[in-house]
Amino acid sequence: MKATFTKGKGKFDKLTVERSDGSIDSLDCPKQRIIPHDMVHLAVEGTLRKRGFMARVKAGEPANFTMQGDHESDGVERLVEVFQGDAWSSGATPIPEMLELYRVTCQERACPPLDLSIEDMQAIRARIEDLDRQWSLVPVGGFLDLVL
């Protein structure tokens, strides 16, 4: 699936996905000072090969906010939230602290956590840093094509 992120002028960027069957879907992405939320999903899901929001969209589910939860995609969503929080606070949170925050977040939401290693977390962080570098070079109205 091709995921095209277009940098918007106002409060939103845009995600357009083109599935292998040729179907297209799009979603507004609220700006958040860091890379778009769904780009964080691509980093997490692509690195771990786990089924989250983007993998479900790739499989044909609509790109919207009304998906029914399931254990794996819920675990991915909690991890995306942890990495967003890390990015908002400089991207330098120690990995053991991030893993503990992830564990607590999953526990509070009755969500089974994914089995993660420090190496997994480092690889995700490196991918997010790379995407952030690429995204920062995209001008308003420009786009970044990614593949899942």
Express each pLDDT in 110-140 by its tens digit. Answer: 999 999 999 999 999 999 999 999 999 999 9
Task: Tell me the whole-structure pTM to 2 decimals.
Answer: 0.94
pLDDT, tens only, 26-38: 999 999 989 999 9
Q: Residue 65: pLDDT above 80?
A: no
Instruction: State how far the alpha carbon of 53 is from the alpha carbons of 66, 133, 140, 142, in Å.
Output: 11, 23, 25, 24
